[in-house]
Amino acid sequence: MIATDALIAFVAIIDGGSFSAAAARLQQTPSGISRTLSRLEAQLGVRLITRTTRRLELTEEGRWLLERARDILARLGDTEARLQASAAVPAGVVRVNAASPVLNHLLAPLVPGFLAAYPQIRLELTGAEAIVDLIEEGADVAIRVGALADSTLNARLLGSSPLRLVAAPDYLQRCGQPAQAAALAQHRLLGFSSPAALNVWPLAQAGQHGWPVEPALSASSGETLRHLALAGAGIACLADFLVGDDLRAGRLQPVLAAEVLPWRQQVWAVFYKQGQLAPRVACLVDYLARQLPLQRS
């Protein structure tokens, strides 16, 4: 009979693309992962993966087994989730993936309260500016901001955060407060290096919603843009969860507040769901839905 750990190692090799990635994910050594695969191939009497110096490729038998291994492990995961659901106290590790600004401004302030409410849960928080594959990263849940494009994911809306145009007081003293949107052309604008949709600001233009801007200075992270704005580098458009404290403290000031459209960035919890969501994950998602400082409607 095939051992479960052998199937887990086999799937981890394919998802990670290498023995070292699978070893890191499973907290083993690459040589140990290699031996596990060799024993599995010897047990089955077939080669599952063709190894070359550059890449790993599944054989026909490997592709056949991979499909069934995923199904078997999903069923085992569902069985575990159902058993855990009967437990009085959720327990275990919850791996959370999110962009660094979301981790710093939304999640980190809530972590102490969550761990106090669920002392048998351990959290692993991983920052990633780009959207990642949850299976490949070994994440249980990701917190994402904005529109969702991956239809293979299950998602729960946690709330939304208004967009603000902001600049530091010293920048506005040096360069002036723009009286209307057209005046932005005379200012240094801070924007995202990608995607382009993030550089459409919530201002009306010729009867159309949205004002496309060409940043003089761009960055991949909203947190970096926030620090640039705080340093007086220019005007930025960022979500309230990033700059709300700065506005209340006077470190940043609103720009064109009367003209800004009521756009909001939605914040989602996304996850792969096979059967019932594990209680350790479900309780975190429920907690965030209750406690995050976001608008609910």
Quick one: pLDDT at residue 16? 83
β-pair partners for 239: 163
pLDDT at 53: 66
Backbone CA torsion sign across 250, 255, 260, 266: negative
- Tell me the C-alpha distance between 221 and 55, whole Å: 32
One DSSP character per residue, 134-192 reads HHHHT-SEEEEES----TTSEEEEEEEEEEEEEE-HHHHHHH---SSGGGGGGS-EEEE
> Facing residues of 123 across strands?
94
Quickly name the fold that domain 92-152+266-291 has.
Answer: D-Maltodextrin-Binding Protein; domain 2 (3.40.190)
The beta-strand segments (E) located in the chain are 49-51, 56-58, 92-98, 121-127, 141-145, 154-167, 189-192, 200-205, 208-212, 217-219, 235-239, 253-254, 264-271
Please state, in angstroms and rounded to a whole number, the distance separating the CA atoms of residues 104 and 102. Answer: 6
> For the chain, how far is it from start to end, CA to CA, in angstroms?
52
92-152+266-291 shares its CATH topology with 161-265? yes
Tell me if 228 sits within 8 A of 193, measured CB to CB. Answer: no
- Tell me how long the chain is: 297
**Domain extent listing, the chain:** 4-85, 92-152+266-291, 161-265
Give me the residue label for tokens 């972590």: 111
CATH number attached to the domain at 161-265: 3.40.190.10
Cα 70 versus chain centre, distance: 23
Q: Are 19 and 33 in contact (CB under 8 A)?
A: yes
d(CA 67, CA 14): 11
Q: What is the pLDDT of residue 104?
A: 93
Query: Residue-wise pLDDT tens for the chain (297 aa)?
Result: 788 888 888 888 888 888 888 888 888 998 898 898 899 888 888 898 887 767 788 889 888 988 888 888 888 877 776 666 655 578 889 999 998 899 999 999 999 999 999 999 999 998 876 555 555 566 888 898 887 776 566 889 999 999 999 999 999 999 999 999 999 999 999 999 988 889 999 998 756 678 999 999 999 999 999 999 999 999 999 999 999 999 999 999 999 999 999 999 999 998 876 556 788 899 999 999 999 988 876
pTM of the shown model:
0.68
Q: Are 74 and 272 in contact (CB under 8 A)?
A: no
CATH topology of domain 4-85: Arc Repressor Mutant, subunit A (1.10.10)
Distance CA 46, CA 34 (A): 15
Whole-number pLDDT of residue 158: 94
